[in-house]
Amino acid sequence: MKKLWGGRFQKTPEKWVDEFGASIHFDKQLVKEDLTGSLAHASMLNKCGILGDEEAAAIKDGLNTLMKKAEADELDFSVDYEDIHLNLEKMLIDEIGPLGGKLHTARSRNDQVATDMHLYLNNQVEHIIELISSFQTVLVEKAEQHVETIFPGYTHLQRAQPISFAHHMLAYFWMLERDKARFQDSLKRINVSPLGCGALAGTTFPIDREYTAELLGFDHIYENSLDGVSDRDFILEFLSNSSLVMMHLSRLCEEIILWCSQEFKFIELDDTYATGSSMMPQKKNPDMAELIRGKTGRVYGNLMGLLTIMKGLPLTYNKDLQEDKEGMFDTVKTIAGSLQIFTGMIQTMTVNEDVMKKATKEDFSNATEVADYLAKKGMPFREAHEIVGKLVYTCIQKGVYLTDLPFETFTESSDLFEQDIYTVLDPYVAVEKRTSAGGTGFKQIQLALEKAKACLA
């Protein structure tokens, strides 16, 4: 098979070598971006007098025909033409004749492929931002339903202080808000056009890079052609931003998995987001949460993979760069799927309010309240801490909780105690009184909900 670049060759690689070097299996996902870039390039060549009006019109007709076929999934790609760029060039020549060969004037696959990926990520990142917003909307909805649902907050996975379930849901809202801001900011660096950088050094043709940039919706052009063809920072940034999203999702996965265990029973997943066991008839497994926790690993892997590919790579284009794509595609698919699953999974889960409430009654997560009570009456907090620690110890010895202690036990340890200590021990009151900014108090949660909704508006 004669190669489109075959002029200086006497022999062609064997089929399996071609297979090994080809990227068409995966870069065919860039078909629309590649055609869009070509349409802009053809318009620019025409505007700059490099292509005549009729030539440009014929080329653009051909490209539009290919675009229609691409949309109808009617294009047959072949390994013989290595990658998406050469496949489409061959198809264009088949479609309109040798004139199709003029399209590649003042262009290289190096600036072409970089352009494709900038266009691709621009669209994908915008889509991912929308998916994050949808998930955040569900988190806000859940939070609104559970402002007064009290459950234990943990540190060291030990019950620490009672909190509102809404507060917990909103914690994830704010993580995702940062994720969204990072993606939004990254668009500045994605929206830069490498088209016209040529193979590496620019071109002798009188092209207009600003014009193609404008046609393609890019805000800027790369200032330096060497940088333009070999920069993959924007993909690394995407992978890094995605890794942070996955890390956040993975933390919630872990909590979901714990919460729906027999030991916690804080939530129940809807049947539509759970699976059974082939052997154990009683099982209802949180597979989706486990899988997303697992998929976090592949996204980190994609980031590490590309960082390693880029390390020590001399300027400018090297074939190593072809390895930038699969991890990017895989990450887009993984993060989009994970966000969509999470949106449905959280929306449909049942929160076992009674179990949560019971958990806060049957523990010592109200111990801080007692220490704060004494501190508010003037006792140094450190002394209060010691006294309450001893009270907790007494409870553990007796197998009871702080609310079960008779009033005398309190007064024996400090004469600052009054009858109102029993109100203070109520987890509901403990949550309600946490009125400091960003705290779990109900008033703070109402404020947080308003702020969250304003972010989504």
Mind telling me the catalytic residues?
A: 156, 277
Q: Between 64 and 83, how does the x/- string for binding to ligand ARG read (CB under 6 A)?
A: -------------------x
Looking at the Cβ atoms of 219 and 320, the one nearer to ligand ARG is 320
Nearest distance from C-beta of residue 125 to ligand ARG, angstroms: 20
Nearest distance from C-beta of residue 238 to ligand ARG, angstroms: 16
Instruction: Return the structure tokens found at 213.
Output: 């940039």
b (16+ CB within 10 A) / e for 272-309: ebbeeeeeeeeeeebebbeebbebbeebbebbebbeeb
Looking at the Cβ atoms of 261 and 308, the one nearer to ligand ARG is 308
Looking at the Cβ atoms of 110 and 366, the one nearer to ligand ARG is 110
Looking at the Cβ atoms of 110 and 149, the one nearer to ligand ARG is 110
Number of residues near ligand ARG (by CB under 6 A): 10
Considering only residues 92, 106, 113, 221, which one is a binding residue for ligand ARG as defined by CB under 6 A? 113
Supply the angle between the helices 109-145 and 324-348 in degrees, to the nearest 10: 10
250 touching ligand ARG, by CB under 6 A? no
375: buried, middle or exposed (CB in 10 Å: 19+, 13-18, 0-12)?
middle
Compute the distance between CA of residue 126 and CA of residue 190 in angstroms, rounded to an integer. Answer: 11
Considering only residues 60, 102, 107, 109, which one is a binding residue for ligand ARG as defined by CB under 6 A? 109
Looking at the Cβ atoms of 35 and 113, the one nearer to ligand ARG is 113
Nearest distance from C-beta of residue 63 to ligand ARG, angstroms: 18
Compute the distance between CA of residue 115 and CA of residue 457 in angstroms, rounded to an integer. Answer: 32
Q: Between 377 and 396, how does the x/- string for binding to ligand ARG read (CB under 6 A)?
A: --------------------
177 touching ligand ARG, by CB under 6 A? no
> Cβ distance 331 to 242 under 8 Å?
yes
Q: Give the three-state DSSP class for 154.
A: strand
Nearest distance from C-beta of residue 331 to ligand ARG, angstroms: 17
Looking at the Cβ atoms of 24 and 445, the one nearer to ligand ARG is 24
Nearest distance from C-beta of residue 318 to ligand ARG, angstroms: 9
242 touching ligand ARG, by CB under 6 A? no
Identity of the amino acid at 420: D
> Cβ distance 304 to 296 under 8 Å?
no
Q: Of 291-330, which residues contact ligand ARG (CB under 6 A)?
A: 317, 319, 321-322
110 touching ligand ARG, by CB under 6 A? yes
27 touching ligand ARG, by CB under 6 A? yes
Identity of the amino acid at 142: K
Torsion of CA 271, 272, 275, 278, to 10 degrees: 90
Q: What is the DSSP letter of 195?
A: T
Nearest distance from C-beta of residue 32 to ligand ARG, angstroms: 16
Compute the distance between CA of residue 403 and CA of residue 84 in angstroms, rounded to an integer. Answer: 71
Considering only residues 23, 186, 302, 360, which one is a binding residue for ligand ARG as defined by CB under 6 A? 23
Compute the distance between CA of residue 183 and CA of residue 397 in angstroms, rounded to an integer. Answer: 53
Instruction: Kindly tell me the sign of the dihedral angle through the C-alpha atoms of 358, 359, 363, 369.
Output: negative
* Chain residues in the site for ligand ARG (CB under 6 A): 23, 27, 83, 109-110, 113, 317, 319, 321-322
